[in-house]
Structure 1
């Protein structure tokens, strides 16, 4: 029996070591990028396999134990910053005056889910200032509009039948709102300039790019995030980005997005907060995100209740006090390496003419001018 357990443990260590190496390859092939997601699951399985190797005193332990430990170290290193034992990337906002508060909830409703009332009841109970819905087709848009329009007089609705519809409801007035389609593929995004109670303006971007999956590589998603980051940087401060990224925060693409946009990930240090898959407790990872400039502090960052979708809602309460919070936290630096990575993502996405067109623009890094890309 021990020999069989040891054999299985060795096989698992070898397999997950291969998966770990594949995930380190800089390629947008879907079968490479899917290994970015289950880091926590891989780490747990590796721990079990390593324990099995030790207990059974497996053959060639001197070989397989280091292999397993190296793979485990890499997997844990990717996800460790997101757990509550680690320092928080975004500063806490323990006290916040009413005019400075901003409460946002976002939810991928799952287009084929027809339990509209569960989501309506959730929004009414959560009572956010801004609610973002994704995967809304016309039926979802009609149902939510009927229920929410009276309480949320400002909205932008983009119903689509391809699971990439998007709609935003807000109690705060829009000084300006526009639809964008940064990387094609029928995946819209929203840019809203929102007027605060004190008359100030903040910018909010909503995004939902396509995921990597069989028959669909990650190029379109990666390009959209890079192009969005350029728009974020150009929009000034304060700025937020919210949505279903179909990516995890520790991926190289999302890290490049944060550096180009100079945005903070408030999830770091506040828990894993997995939003997908709500239907499978064994396969969950954080796909829904909110990133912000250093003007904001965080009052609450949580995952909401099950509302019948394959995603849980993301609930975030922020406090906007640039003079207080900006000196206490540090957004990622816009480095030449990040700009080069962004260039590479766009060039790879454009191979064969399938990706977005891009043109050069000038950005600054420590006083030096570098080239990056933005949508035409």
Structure 2
């Protein structure tokens, strides 16, 4: 009976691990792609259990080892590739991105984190009319700002210490608003796209999210200088659609060398995956990248410092 349970668990983990890549056009399959770390850890538990059950015979454990390698290939590069650069002399830019959660009323936590990190730019998602009122106190330290509050979960905003030109973009489609901002830092032009595609719950929403990711790919491909995509992309790096975004948009994942940096769900650490991203193009180097403390949202904030 124990061996039957072992095979059921192994086959189930195998289906969840591989199905998203066999059926990338199916919304539920794509959701299963986001939990590679959990599959990897579960397989690491199955391995010693299998050794005991099969009396150290290796042949029955070959599928476990193959699935371990399959899931590890999505995770290990985040730790082994592209180490973070040493702190450089001269200027740079620091950005704090926060998904506030429209229903979150822990205003002091978010404001306190912004004061503590003291970034050059703050990107805010899920800006509601109530949040807009609370954020008013920040306009002294961030005199250049553009807030677009919404009564749904797709309000968005940017706060900057430096002059910034911002345009609202829907990519000529029925997408939630994105902000495309341009500013100059220490003589370097930087373009920032703050964006928040819809959660891919259901096939229609899944396809809409993918269409917005494709629109971001196309925009990124036209950017010749320093370009940053930041926001809750509602996809992890394990998804085929995210990989296409990097490849076709000529972008790189800022997490390379610093690890998974999981951000959602904030209140379930054992289930966390990474939906919040900084994607980069151009000559910028990652000097520091951190996942910040819980501020009452369902997402953890992320912070980055870039040098030129």
Report the TM range for the smaller structure's normalisation. over 0.9
| Residue 177 (str. 1) matches residue 166 (str. 2) | yes
CA–CA distance in structure 1, aligned partners of residues 259 and 204 of structure 2 = 30
CA–CA distance in structure 2, aligned partners of residues 306 and 186 of structure 1 = 28
- From the superposition, tell whether residues 210 and 77 of structure 1 become closer, same or farther in structure 2 (CA, over 3 Å): same
Q: CA RMSD in A?
A: 2.0
Equivalences for residues 155-170 of structure 1 within 5 A: 155-170=145-160
Deviation at 1:7?
A: 3.1
Of 81, 94, 99, 1:103 maps to 94
For the Cα contact (< 8 Å) 2:16–2:33, is it kept in 1?
Answer: no
Deviation at 1:195?
A: 2.3
- From the superposition, tell whether residues 82 and 59 of structure 1 become closer, same or farther in structure 2 (CA, over 3 Å): closer
| Residue 71 (str. 1) matches residue 64 (str. 2) | no
Unaligned runs of 5+ in 2: none
Q: 2:177: which partner in 1?
A: 188
Of 195, 205, 212, 1:224 maps to 212
Moved more, 180-189 or 244-253: 180-189
- From the superposition, tell whether residues 227 and 214 of structure 1 become closer, same or farther in structure 2 (CA, over 3 Å): closer
> Which runs of at least 4 in structure 1 moved beyond 6 Å after TM superposition?
58-61
Deviation at 1:108?
A: 0.7
CA–CA distance in structure 1, aligned partners of residues 49 and 142 of structure 2 = 56
Of 274, 290, 308, 1:302 maps to 290
CA–CA distance in structure 1, aligned partners of residues 57 and 259 of structure 2 = 37
CA–CA distance in structure 2, aligned partners of residues 75 and 225 of structure 1 = 24
SS of corresponding position for 1:194: strand
Of 110, 116, 135, 1:125 maps to 116
Q: How many residues were matched structurally? A: 308
Deviation at 1:60?
A: 9.7
SS of corresponding position for 2:87: coil
SS of corresponding position for 1:28: coil
Higher relative contact order (CA 8 A, sep 6+): 2
| Residue 44 (str. 1) matches residue 41 (str. 2) | yes
Q: 1:352: which partner in 2?
A: none
Deviation at 1:152?
A: 0.6
Q: 2:270: which partner in 1?
A: 282
- From the superposition, tell whether residues 193 and 240 of structure 1 become closer, same or farther in structure 2 (CA, over 3 Å): same
For the Cα contact (< 8 Å) 1:141–1:167, is it kept in 2?
Answer: no
For the Cα contact (< 8 Å) 1:106–1:132, is it kept in 2?
Answer: yes
| Residue 19 (str. 1) matches residue 10 (str. 2) | no
For the Cα contact (< 8 Å) 1:245–1:287, is it kept in 2?
Answer: yes
For the Cα contact (< 8 Å) 1:156–1:169, is it kept in 2?
Answer: yes
Equivalences for residues 1-376 of structure 1 within 5 A: 3-4=1-2, 6-57=3-54, 62=59, 64-83=60-79, 86-88=80-82, 92-97=85-90, 100-144=91-135, 146-174=136-164, 176-182=165-171, 184-198=173-187, 200-214=188-202, 216-320=204-308
C-alpha distance after superposition, 1:240-277 (max 9, x if no partner): 11111111123221221112221221201212111111
| TM-score, structure 2 normalization | 0.93
Deviation at 1:154?
A: 1.0
For the Cα contact (< 8 Å) 1:211–1:246, is it kept in 2?
Answer: yes
| TM-score, structure 1 normalization | 0.77
SS of corresponding position for 1:272: coil
For the Cα contact (< 8 Å) 1:183–1:220, is it kept in 2?
Answer: no
